[in-house]
A and B are shown apart, each in its own frame.
Chain A
Amino acid sequence: MSKVSTVSDVSDVRGTNGKRLLDVRGLATAFDTSEGIVRAVDGVDFHVGEGETVALVGESGCGKSVTALSILRLVQAPAGRIVAGRIELAGVNLLELPEAEMRKVRGAKIAMIFQEPMTSLNPVLTVGYQIAEAVRLHRGLSKREAWKEAVRVLDLVEIPDAAERAAGYPHQLSGGMRQRVMIAMALSCDPRLLIADEPTTALDVTIQAQILELLDSLRARLGMALLLITHDLGVVAERAERVLVMYAGRVIEEGPVDRVFAEPHHPYTRGLLRSVPRLGRERAPLATIPGVVPKLNALPAGCRFRDRCDAAVAECASVDPALEPLGEGRRVACIVATRRGGLES
Chain B
Amino acid sequence: MLSYLAKRLAGFVPLLLGISFVSFLVMAMAPGTPVDLMTDLNPKASPEARERLEKFYGLDQPLYVQYGLWLGRIVQGDLGTSFSRDRRPVLDKIAEALPITLFLNVLDLALILGLAIPIGIYSAARQYSLVDRATTVFVFIGFAMPSFWVALLAMMLFGEQLGWLPISGLRSLDYDSMSALGQIGDRVRHLILPVGIAALTGLAGLSRYMRSSMLEVLRQDYIQTARAKGLSETVVVYRHALRNALLPVVTILGLSIPGLIGGSVIAETIFAIPGMGRLFYTSVLMRDYPVVMGITLIGAVLTLLGNLLADLMYVAVDPRLRKR
Question: Do A and B originate from a single complex?
Answer: yes
A contact set with B: CB distance below 8 Å: 72, 74, 78, 103-108, 111-112, 114, 116, 119-126, 130, 133-134, 137-138, 169, 171-172, 182, 185
From residue B69, how far is it (CB to closest CB) to chain A in Å? 51
**Partner pick for A123 among B231, B232, B239, B320, CB 8 A cutoff:** B320
Q: Known contacts A120-B221, A123-B244; is A185 also within 8 Å of B320 by CB?
A: no
Q: Known contacts A169-B319, A172-B324; is A122 also within 8 Å of B222 by CB?
A: yes
CA distance in complex: A116, B240 (Å): 18
Q: Quick check: B230 and A103 within 8 Å, CB to CB? A: yes
**Partner pick for B222 among A103, A121, A172, CB 8 A cutoff:** A121
Question: Could you give 27 example pairs across A and B, Cβ below 8 Å?
Answer: A72-B228, A74-B227, A74-B228, A78-B128, A103-B232, A105-B230, A106-B228, A107-B228, A107-B230, A108-B230, A111-B228, A114-B221, A119-B220, A120-B222, A121-B222, A121-B225, A123-B222, A123-B318, A123-B320, A124-B243, A124-B244, A134-B231, A137-B230, A138-B230, A169-B319, A169-B320, A171-B320
Given the complex, which residues of A lie within 8 Å of B317, measured CB to CB? 124
CA distance in complex: A121, B223 (Å): 8
For B5-40 the 0/1 string (1 means CB < 8 A from A) is: 000000000000000000000000000000000000
From residue B159, how far is it (CB to closest CB) to chain A in Å? 45
From residue B22, how far is it (CB to closest CB) to chain A in Å? 39
CA distance in complex: A130, B324 (Å): 20
CA distance in complex: A123, B224 (Å): 14
Q: Quick check: B226 and A122 within 8 Å, CB to CB? A: yes
Q: Known contacts A106-B230, A108-B230, A172-B324; is A74 also within 8 Å of B244 by CB?
A: no
B contact set with A: CB distance below 8 Å: 128, 220-222, 224-232, 239-240, 243-244, 317-320, 324
CA distance in complex: A171, B321 (Å): 10
Q: Known contacts A124-B317, A124-B318; is A116 also within 8 Å of B231 by CB?
A: no
The 6 closest A-B pairs by CB, nearest first: A106-B230, A107-B230, A107-B229, A119-B221, A122-B222, A169-B319
In the complex, besides A120-B222, A124-B244, A130-B225, 5 extra interface pairs with C-beta distance below 8 angstroms are A103-B232, A108-B230, A124-B318, A133-B229, A138-B230
CA distance in complex: A172, B222 (Å): 16
**Partner pick for A104 among B128, B224, B230, B320, CB 8 A cutoff:** B230
CA distance in complex: A171, B227 (Å): 21
CA distance in complex: A125, B236 (Å): 12
From residue A178, how far is it (CB to closest CB) to chain B in Å? 11
Q: Quick check: A137 and B240 within 8 Å, CB to CB? A: no
